Chain A
Amino acid sequence: MDRHPYFIQSYCIIRNHTIAINGHPYLAVEHTAPLHDFLRAAYRQLGIDYPKFYKMDGLCKAIFIAVELMARASGPFENDTALVFSNYSSSHLSDSKHAQDISDEANPVASPATFVYTLPNIAMGEISIRHQLHSENVFFIFDSYLPEFLVPYSHAMLDDGKASSIISGWTEVTAKRCDVFLYHVGQAGHIPCTVEHMKRLYQGQERK
């Protein structure tokens, strides 16, 4: 049961080569464009100078963009804003790349720049640096987006006073597909943070 007075302060969906912030379209590109190009186009549209972005893998890039847009909508974030992320394939994008690097017949060499991204929580580290968040980070691995777990988990953290607000959601990024749904939950906002609302938002059926 959802009995806590917590609300969605902003949310971002990156899916099918489109980005929407609080239900409003931000960017859409050709479906045929490679993921890489799509995320770069989004970065350029942000109009910021953050060269570290180019070093990130696809998972980090997508999360970086979503959180950047959310910061504009409901930021700046308090520095105790916790991060509770989840996905299915962990850091599979970079894992595959590293596995390929070290299996290369001609030149089997590992790259530190790739290896560092073979951890899903690196994205939370990137976000913490960018937004100066000194907070708790947890990365869960689930079969699919699981608001039945994430919503009560976030509420418990807020109830315990371990964070003033939380950025949480689903961050599945593979070579073929980007399915990112992140939301900023706290005391302010209009959409109640309930399992039902979060399901509908994820499916794109509710607008602010």
Chain B
Amino acid sequence: MKADVFVVGDQLVTPLGIGSATNFVQLLDGRTAIKPVADTQLSGHRIHAARIDEQAWLNKISRPQRFTRLEQLFILSLQAMIDEYRIPLDRSTLVLLSTTKGNVALLHRASTAFPPARVHLPVMADELQGYFGFENRFVTISNACISGALAISVARQLLRHHDGYQQAVVIGGDEISRFIVSGFDAFQALADEPCRPFDRDRKGLNLGEAIAGVYLSKTPARDAVRIMGVGSYNDANHISGPSRTGEGLYRSIAEAMREAGAPPLDFISAHGTATRYNDEMESIALQRCGLSAVPVHSLKGYYGHTLGASGLLETVLGIHSLKNNRLIPSKGFMHQGTSQALNIITADHGDTVKTGKQPDAPAQPLRTFLKTASGFGGCNIATVFQKA
């Protein structure tokens, strides 16, 4: 029998604030971080995006000039986790760093104080490791938009198979840059308004930035959440478009649920980027899994698509949802907009566990949720979390 792995702590740095509890409250208040942004550094035209304000963390870390903007955000987040959870820096602690594009913004900046090698992820990882003095080198994962969610699964496997590792920090983050904006623009994937995941009139995604982390342990602490099952499968269909049948996501969810022992789900935290094809694909995969009636949300309407951080960000908020027994409404949703109807959590039902399908159901504690993510390259992942 392999050791169970628990989420015993978490941390968020987002445009809505520093700290995961702070962020959770903001979501229940219906606040969104998505705003019109007119910044010629990012794009020649106005976009809608969710950016972290520089003032939020300035002067909070030592020698900031030695680190890139993204590294400073990682440091801020890691420092908060280490302090709050008294995380040992010795060999018993594994650190997984997940990012889709890391310091890529350095590539197109005309002048930068950093050497060219700083764009490479191992260099960034070593800088962060050195800042805190972790004994283990970081394990870095770059797997498109499932990076963060996948890093949780990888950390779990490493903890289970190595007696020497007792706990793991899994941290993920990405920032908005001209590099990213121009690329998504070229794909015509950006909405010129706040995004509307799963809505009939959705026009595309907004980009966002966040640093999100979870602290995993083989020892359950108070309020721990157990990782019950994981599935991750490629679509084997297209490198930049989701499968029409949702094959990879369907297999991922089926495997995660099988490993978890098919528990009843209280809600699903979907990927829900608000692009036409992604959301449609997810509705098909959920229908194929027989999960269309489970309350579901996408948090992209609050934070936009935070790329490699998104899976971690949304996992952390899902965990807070469990702990507070409150469902988070899916911001931006008005009308069913996928071929397979979904039970989208709306603001009307957000402050109780009621949803559109059971308006009179009594409030009851939330226990289990499913987190899914999908990305370019046809990758998908599904993870089941349950209160320990």
**A positions within 8 Å CB-CB of B:** 79, 83, 88-90, 92, 95-96, 98-99, 102-103, 108-112, 115-116, 118-122, 124-126, 128-129, 132-143, 149, 152-153, 156-157, 159-160
Contact = CB atoms under 8 A, between A and B. Distances in A.
Contacts of A138: 141, 143, 150, 154
B107 interface: yes
B247 A134 contact: yes
Name, among B142, B144, B239, the residue most crowded by chain A CB atoms within 10 Å (CB to CB): B239
B121 A90 contact: yes
B107 A95 contact: yes
Given A90-B121, A134-B233, A140 B139 contact: yes
A95 B187 CA distance: 16
B161 interface: yes
Contacts of B301: none
B122 A122 contact: no
A140 B141 contact: yes
Interface string B162-180: 1000000000000000110
A79 to B, nearest CB: 8
Contact of A141 (B140, B186, B240, B247): B140
14 contacts: A110-B185, A115-B182, A116-B376, A118-B104, A119-B377, A120-B142, A121-B379, A122-B239, A125-B239, A125-B379, A128-B378, A129-B378, A132-B236, A149-B139
A90 B377 CA distance: 14
B142 A135 contact: no
B182 to A, nearest CB: 4
Given A126-B239, A139-B141, A140-B140, A134 B120 contact: no
Nearest to A149: B139
B157 A129 contact: no
Nearest to A142: B122
B303 to A, nearest CB: 21
B251 interface: yes
Name, among B140, B232, B236, B375, the residue most crowded by chain A CB atoms within 10 Å (CB to CB): B236
B142 A119 contact: yes
Contacts, number: 145
A110 B247 CA distance: 30
Contacts of A95: 101, 104, 107, 119, 179
Contacts of A120: 142-143
A177 B77 CA distance: 36
Contacts of A98: 179, 182-183
Contact of A153 (B107, B120, B157, B247): B157
A159 B161 CA distance: 10
Contact of B179 (A102, A119, A137, A156): A102
Contacts of A89: 120
A134 to B, nearest CB: 5
A141 B119 CA distance: 13
Contact of A124 (B100, B108, B125, B377): B377
B237 interface: yes
A137 B234 contact: yes
Contacts of A142: 122, 140
B235 interface: yes
Interface in B248-271: 248, 251
A137 B235 CA distance: 11
Contacts of A160: 2, 157
Given A92-B119, A102-B178, A110 B186 contact: yes
Name, among A103, A108, A128, A160, the residue most crowded by chain B CB atoms within 10 Å (CB to CB): A128
A139 B143 contact: yes
A83 B143 CA distance: 12
A119 B122 contact: no
Contacts of B119: 92, 95
Interface in B110-162: 119-122, 125-126, 137, 139-144, 150, 154, 157-158, 160-162
Contacts of B248: 134
B158 A153 contact: yes
B238 interface: yes
A120 to B, nearest CB: 6
Given A125-B378, A138-B143, A111 B236 contact: no
Contacts of B100: 119
